Amino acid sequence: MLNILTYGESILTEKANEITEFDQSLQRLIEEMHEAMQRDHGIGLAAPQVGTSKRLFIVGIDDEPLRVFINPHIVASSQETTELEEGCLSFPGLYFTVVRPLAVDIEAVDMHGKPFRISADGLLARVIQHEYDHLDGILFVDRVSPSKRKRALTHYGRMLKM
């Protein structure tokens, strides 16, 4: 079973690499990420969070089929933004409100290398943006004001010592 890395691991703040091989090992990675995400009750997980520097993330909201995004590009974002409380499997127990565009259009390829494009809003758009950020080494604590970020990380540091 894959471990999910937590804040402080350097791979979480690095830009991940494009995927060029669509083989068995990629399928196995996706299956193992899916298991790890379900075990930790997440709704999204990016490959760098399991220690793999690849541009891949998965989204699984409620009982919807698993969505796999490889080499994704957010090609459009709505002007309209929304505030929503986010958590991250790499920051267990930390939640705070983040402002992001309400809707996005994203292009990616699936696990067989086949291109697709979707328009997402609501929770799906939110999870996509959060996971997409992980591929560029951007964490949800980077999407809030510096003072809020500092408070959050101080709080997180304190929680880790408990």
Per the CB < 8 A criterion, the answer to whether 110 and 116 are in contact is yes
The CB-of-30 to Ni ion minimum distance in angstroms stands at 17
Tokens encoding 72: 């994704």
Please, which residue, 29 or 58, has the CB nearer to Ni ion?
58
- 2 binding Ni ion? (CB under 5 A): no
Residues in the chain: 162
The CB-of-49 to Ni ion minimum distance in angstroms stands at 6
Segment contacting Ni ion (CB under 5 A): 8-16, 33-41, 82-90, 115-123? 82-90
- 12 binding Ni ion? (CB under 5 A): no
Q: How far apart are CA 157 and CA 13, in angstroms?
A: 17
Please, which residue, 12 or 29, has the CB nearer to Ni ion?
12
Active site residue 107: no
- 127 binding Ni ion? (CB under 5 A): no
> Where on the phi/psi map is residue 122: left (φ > 0), alpha (ψ -120 to 50), or beta?
left
Please, which residue, 49 or 71, has the CB nearer to Ni ion?
49
CA Rg value for the chain: 15
Per the CB < 8 A criterion, the answer to whether 84 and 132 are in contact is no
- 88 binding Ni ion? (CB under 5 A): yes
Residues near Ni ion (CB under 5 A), total = 1
The CB-of-5 to Ni ion minimum distance in angstroms stands at 11
Segment contacting Ni ion (CB under 5 A): 13-21, 31-39, 68-76, 81-89? 81-89
Q: How far apart are CA 36 and CA 38, in angstroms?
A: 5
Q: What are phi and psi of 67, to 5 degrees?
A: -105, 135
Q: How far apart are CA 44 and CA 61, in angstroms?
A: 8
The catalytic position among 31, 32, 85, 131 is 131
Q: What are the residue numbers of the active site?
A: 131
Q: Which residues bind Ni ion (CB under 5 A)?
A: 88
